[in-house]
Structure 1
Amino acid sequence: MIHAHRHRIPMAASGAAFVLLLGACSHAGAPAAAQVPSVDVAEVVNRQVAERQVYSGRLQAVDRVDIRAQVPGKITKVYFRDGQRVKKGDPLFLIDPRPYQAAADRAAAQLAAARARATFASADYVRAQKLLAGNAISRRDFDDRFNASLSATADVKAAEAALEQAKVDLGYTTIDAPVDGKVSRAERTVGNIVAAGYSSPSLTTLVSISPIYADFDVDERTYLQFLDTAGQREVEVRLGLANETGVTRLGKIASVDNQLENTTGTIRVRASFENTDGALVPGLFARVSVGAAPPHPAVLVDDRAISTDQAKKYVLVVDGNKTAQYREVFLGSLVDGLRVISSGLKPGERIIVDGIQRVHPGEQVQVKVVPMAGENDPVATR
């Protein structure tokens, strides 16, 4: 009896242990619930846009003149203040005119004497003609008087030219502004002796104010899209300075260079802008926006939702089953902070805008609908 009792207890214990072990194994073998990634999803923006490309440019004056003396002499007056705006024809400098006035008076006197000699020679020639007809003068004397008349007439022309040159030199003593614009500082002041000619020191510089040019280089795509047909349809050009958030100044294409630079793949473009307030200063950097004026419908997305797969650009589209689908897209320009999608997306589709790094194409996702970033931002480029 004792032996049989001892035998049943281990069997019962073994059975209980087996049940516990089986339950543990069954619990350990149950599959864990799959974790579905949560992502932010936004519907693509669909609206009318005027697509533009933005480039960095530099402002250039339409007219820039180095003011130099055209006759030597002493500066007796400076008519402008440093940085003053002047009109075409306003006096800038006066070079002592007295020597040139004296030269003009002397040339005038020489002209008067030449005309008197010409009058006498002409009358003497007329008399010689009458004497020759009556055989009262030799042919040689007649020829001498004829030659004297021609020489006197030529002397008059030379004296007239000398007087004209003297008057021109006298006029050069007053240096006027050749164009409307703004002068720099006076490099030579009253009392200085100045030389004449291109190699002489500049007295000041004068730049025109309005209109003003903006020179910039555009890529081949922009040229083919907008500028090669500039004569056939309107091209909108806008400009903004470094301290401005938008590109509010409206201009027009002034010229497009005649060839594309092979090394850079760009072509030089010049646009013209009105500058009546003088805020645009030659030499400043500026942002220049180029695009077609007529708006067209476009799909736009946040740039951060676009990923790169080798040379391709793509987004993850969330379909009706909340599955992420790979979609290659082709990009346009930035408009109001959003990227234009030239092809690859349709209006009404939704894409992942945050959490894309946690998702693989074909996976289920938990969707949190958010607005497209920048969709309601103020329009900065208009």
Structure 2
Amino acid sequence: MRRGKLLAVAMGVAGALALAGCGKNETGQGTAPAAPQVVVSQPLQKNIHEWDEYTGRFTAVEGVEIRARVSGYLTSVNFHDGDLVNKGDLLFIIDPRPYQAALDGAQAAVAQAKSQVTLADRELNRARDLRQTQAVSQSVLDTRSQSLQAAQAGLLAAEAQQRAAALNLEFTQVRAPVTGRVSNHRVSVGNLVSGGSAESTLLTTIVSLDPIYFYFDADQASYLRYQRLNQSGQRQSGRVVQHPVELALPDETGYSHQGKLDFIDNSIDDSTGTIRARAVFDNPDGVLTPGLFGRLRLAGRSEYQGLLVPDSAIGTDQNRRYVMVVGADNKVVMRPVTLGPLIDGLRVVREGLAANERIVTAGLLRVRPGATVAPVEKPLQAGETGAKP
């Protein structure tokens, strides 16, 4: 029995030694692990036009509150709510009869003043003739001259009253001061409206549509960058050149609306740290509406030849960004890089990478600096975000 136990132990030791021998090659050394397979690519070279993106809101170039300029009862509304109206179109009529009567009275006063001037002129001429024969005194001549001047002044006053009455009559017809889209009428026919003061009755509003403004706020860091680029001659200031801009509406994926930058404010808002800017867009079909939000992009710097890599090739080490560069010996080197914006699905690399270097674009988590890899070459294409090994 004891002999059998010894035999079993001996067989177990032999088996263990046999298994240990499996990890040895013919020279007695351990088998090296296979190099991990990764996809490598050279950066894509392209002329890059960088854009800075902002969110803003459309505002009408002209927005007018239509208020009554004379008081009276509203007798007519001559548009449909929400109509497109042209400058000069008749919108409202205020009862003109009292103002027509006032104008008739002013015209009569003018006619009376003219007759006074004619009479005073004749009397002065008669006094001059009589004065030559000493038939009247000089004081009579002076009195007749003063009477003529008074009559002429009265005529001027009457004519001024006539013009004022004509204006009041004209103001009973409320016309569109600009071309645009009218809101709803705020006062119905038959109501008494007041006019001629700061509290005049609001009748409706009109906003112009074509062209249309787009206001947005840029942070002070971007503003300073634009200023530095202007000082270095790389990009002229928006106050000198109307830079092109592109815009997308909330339901659009592409920037299909073309406009231009036409205004930058004169100070930075101390409460937000931003500066207000404005772009202008043509709007012949009226799709762009005041108050509508949109996404605008503005050329951030001059066009340049740059390098693009997929985001899958970029690693993060605390606050640093890096790529893994594969050398001619297939060894991996960590390379810190400075990144830019996303262009056509690829990330701009500003610094740290050469155009002829190979970087790991897929399988980044499998490699470490100094490791040897089995690279699989694959050219990059615009729009790629990464590749599977």
Name the TM-score class by shorter chain. Answer: 0.7 to 0.9
CA distance 1:149–1:52, shift in 2 (3 Å): same
How far is the alpha carbon of 1:354 from its aligned partner?
Answer: 3.6
Return the TM-score normalized by structure 1.
0.85
- After TM superposition, the structure 1 = structure 2 runs for residues 123-134 of structure 1, keeping only pairs within 5 Å, are 123-134=122-133
- Counterparts of 2:134 and 2:152 in 1: how far apart (Å)? 27
Question: What amino acid sits opposite 1:99 in the alignment?
Answer: P
- Counterparts of 1:126 and 1:86 in 2: how far apart (Å)? 58
CA distance 1:341–1:11, shift in 2 (3 Å): closer
Question: What amino acid sits opposite 2:198 in the alignment?
Answer: Y
CA distance 1:13–1:81, shift in 2 (3 Å): closer
CA contact (8 A) 1:61 1:213 kept: yes
Question: What amino acid sits opposite 1:349 in the alignment?
Answer: E
Question: What amino acid sits opposite 1:171 in the alignment?
Answer: E
- Counterparts of 2:272 and 2:332 in 1: how far apart (Å)? 39
Return the TM-score normalized by structure 2.
0.83
The residue number in structure 1 matching 2:256 is 248
How far is the alpha carbon of 1:302 from its aligned partner?
Answer: 2.3
The residue number in structure 2 matching 1:87 is 86
- Counterparts of 1:229 and 1:88 in 2: how far apart (Å)? 36
The residue number in structure 1 matching 2:267 is 259
- After TM superposition, the structure 1 = structure 2 runs for residues 143-154 of structure 1, keeping only pairs within 5 Å, are 143-154=142-153
List per-residue Cα deviations over 1:72-120 (Å, max 9, x = no partner): 1111111111111111111111111111111111111101101110111
How far is the alpha carbon of 1:271 from its aligned partner?
Answer: 0.7
Question: What amino acid sits opposite 2:226 in the alignment?
Answer: Y
Question: What amino acid sits opposite 1:135 in the alignment?
Answer: Q
CA distance 1:16–1:120, shift in 2 (3 Å): closer
How far is the alpha carbon of 1:246 from its aligned partner?
Answer: 0.6
Structure 1 SS opposite 2:93: strand
Structure 1 SS opposite 2:149: helix
Structure 2: gaps spanning 5 or more residues: none
- Counterparts of 1:106 and 1:81 in 2: how far apart (Å)? 36
CA contact (8 A) 1:40 1:370 kept: yes
Structure 2 SS opposite 1:152: helix
CA distance 1:193–1:35, shift in 2 (3 Å): farther
The residue number in structure 2 matching 1:4 is none
CA distance 1:362–1:236, shift in 2 (3 Å): farther
The residue number in structure 2 matching 1:188 is 187
Question: What amino acid sits opposite 2:216 in the alignment?
Answer: F
* 1:331 aligns with one of 336, 339, 346: 339
The residue number in structure 2 matching 1:284 is 292
Structure 1 SS opposite 2:253: coil
Structure 2 SS opposite 1:147: helix
The residue number in structure 2 matching 1:202 is 202
CA contact (8 A) 2:53 2:297 kept: yes
Structure 1 SS opposite 2:202: coil
The residue number in structure 2 matching 1:375 is 383
1:363 matched to 2:366: no
Alignment length, in residue pairs? Answer: 370
How far is the alpha carbon of 1:244 from its aligned partner?
Answer: 0.8
CA distance 1:126–1:374, shift in 2 (3 Å): same
How far is the alpha carbon of 1:144 from its aligned partner?
Answer: 2.5
The residue number in structure 1 matching 2:278 is 270
CA contact (8 A) 1:82 1:185 kept: yes
Structure 2 SS opposite 1:186: coil
Question: What amino acid sits opposite 1:335 in the alignment?
Answer: I
The residue number in structure 1 matching 2:223 is 220
Question: What amino acid sits opposite 1:305 in the alignment?
Answer: A
CA contact (8 A) 1:53 1:222 kept: no
List per-residue Cα deviations over 1:200-224 (Å, max 9, x = no partner): 3421110111101111123225633
- Counterparts of 1:221 and 1:307 in 2: how far apart (Å)? 29
- Counterparts of 1:24 and 1:339 in 2: how far apart (Å)? 51
Structure 1: gaps spanning 5 or more residues: 1-8, 378-382
Pairwise CA RMSD? 3.2
- After TM superposition, the structure 1 = structure 2 runs for residues 61-100 of structure 1, keeping only pairs within 5 Å, are 61-100=60-99
List per-residue Cα deviations over 1:134-172 (Å, max 9, x = no partner): 333334333322221111111111111111111111111
- Counterparts of 1:204 and 1:234 in 2: how far apart (Å)? 35
